[in-house]
Amino acid sequence: MGRYVIRRLLQMIPVFFGTTLLIFLMVNVMGDPIAGLCGERQCDPATAAQLRKEFGLDKPVWQQYVTYMGNVFTGDFGTAFNGQKVTELMATAFPITIRLTVIAIVFEVVIGISLGVVTGLRRGRPVDTTVLILTLVVISVPTFVTGLLLQLLLGVKWGIIDPSVSSEAPFNELLVPGLVLASVSLAYVTRLTRTSIAENARADYVRTAVAKGLPRRRVVIRHLLRNSLIPVVTFIGTDVGALMGGAIVTERIFNIHGVGYQLYQGILRQNSQTVVGFVTILVLVFLAANLIVDLLYAVLDPRIRYA
């Protein structure tokens, strides 16, 4: 197990450098960021040259990348165009997005898996059909429609919630945005669990467990669910990364100043330091989440061993 983890960690190094290099190049292809700083007019050439020098944009791209990575390892993620340290932006944005992600994951796990188990055990019954149709609806409606609709109904028409989240973004204000963010994945989790449960329900070990006279609850939770969770855990694991970086739409609708918003603004302003910095952290999150998922397999299914 220990050796496996070390090997996986070593594998992360080339992946990390590869992805950051790609992002760095992509941001660079977008063109000269300085030109966008002066509104509709042209920046005066002297100031533009000075700014380019300050942000290191006058050097060749490979040199910019090397300098940037060097700085990253000393904890310096550079400065955004508005004079704020990128680390400062991260310190405000990540806690908010982590809260949002935690809420979304909790919704996925609690609602998604329970619905999956219910429908998986009652295939073909009305409950199953209803949930299947509902998940299909949720999957096919884009997030921004769900978000705007909930915002309009709950926030404006019925006044149950504030339509926008305050800048501190406490847990209770993030519940509805979290539900919106989770909705599509939640539907997938339901469907994945349902299929997996339905398939395993006919497995030999389940029949054995039933034959042993175990209580139904124990059969379902200890034997059936645990073995059926592998595809679901894989999905949720990768979803952690996707939720953190892909919350742009939800964050804009509900005025959440998280990672998605910072990335969006960074891209609009072609602020390479912000974009590369945030994406670098997201890459690390993805890698860590994947490793944890792989390790969880062994916990869920004793037949899987890592050496």
Partner 1 sequence: MRGATQAKWAACAVAVALMATACGGGGGGGGGGANGIVSSSWGDPQNPLEPANTNEVQGGKVLDMVFRGLKKYDPKTGAATNMLAEKIESTDSQNFTITLKDGWTFSNGEKVTAHSFVDAWNYGALLKNNQKNAYFFGYIDGYDKVHPNTGNASAATLSGLKVVDPKTFTVKLSQKFSLWPDTLGYPAFAPLPKAFFTDHAAWVSKPVGNGPYTIENYTKGSSMSLRKWDGYPGDDKAQNGGIDLKVYTDSNTAYTDLVAGNLDLVDDVPASQLKNVKADLGDRYINTPAGIIQTIAFPFYDKKWDTPGGIKVRQGLSMAINRDQITSQIFQKTRTPASDWTSPVLGEEGGFKKGLCGAPCEYNAADAKKLVQEGGGIPGGQLKISYNADTGSHKEWVDAVCNSINKALGNNKACVGAPVGTFADFRSQVSQQKLTGPWRAGWQMDYPLIQNFLQPTYYTNASSNDGKWSNKQFDSLIDKANAESDKAKAVSTFQDAERVLAEQMPVIPLWYQNGSAGYSDRITNVALNQFSVPVYEQIKVK
- Using CB under 8 A as the binding rule, the residues of this chain from 57 to 86 that contact partner 1 are 81-84
How many C-alpha atoms does 172 have within 13 Å on its Cβ side?
A: 3
User: In residues, how long is the chain?
Assistant: 307
Quick one: which of 185, 270, 280, 290 contacts partner 1 (CB under 8 A)? 270
Q: Is 255 left (phi over 0), alpha (psi -120 to 50) or beta?
A: left
Contact 283, 16 (CB under 8 A): yes
User: Which 239-258 residues touch partner 1, going by CB under 8 A?
Assistant: 251-257
293 Cβ contact partners less than 8 Å away, ≥ 6 residues apart: 233, 234, 236, 237, 238
* Binding of partner 1 by 28 (CB under 8 A): no
CB of 28 to partner 1, least distance (A): 11
Q: Which of residues 142-181 bind partner 1 (CB under 8 A)?
A: 151-152, 154-156, 159-164, 166-167, 170, 172-173, 175-176, 179
**By CB under 8 A, what part of segment 87-116 binds partner 1?**
88-89, 92, 110-111, 114-115
- The span of 16-24, 28-36, 63-71, 290-298 binding partner 1 (CB under 8 A) equals 28-36
Query: Of the two residues 8 and 269, which places its CB atom closer to partner 1 in the complex?
Result: 269
Task: Give the nearer residue to partner 1 in terms of CB position, either 14 or 159.
Answer: 159
- Write the Ramachandran bin of 39: left for phi over 0, alpha for psi from -120 to 50, otherwise beta: left
At residue 278's C-alpha, the angle toward residues 274 and 284, to 5°, is 150
CB of 213 to partner 1, least distance (A): 18
Return d(Cα 204, Cα 99) in angstroms, integer.
41
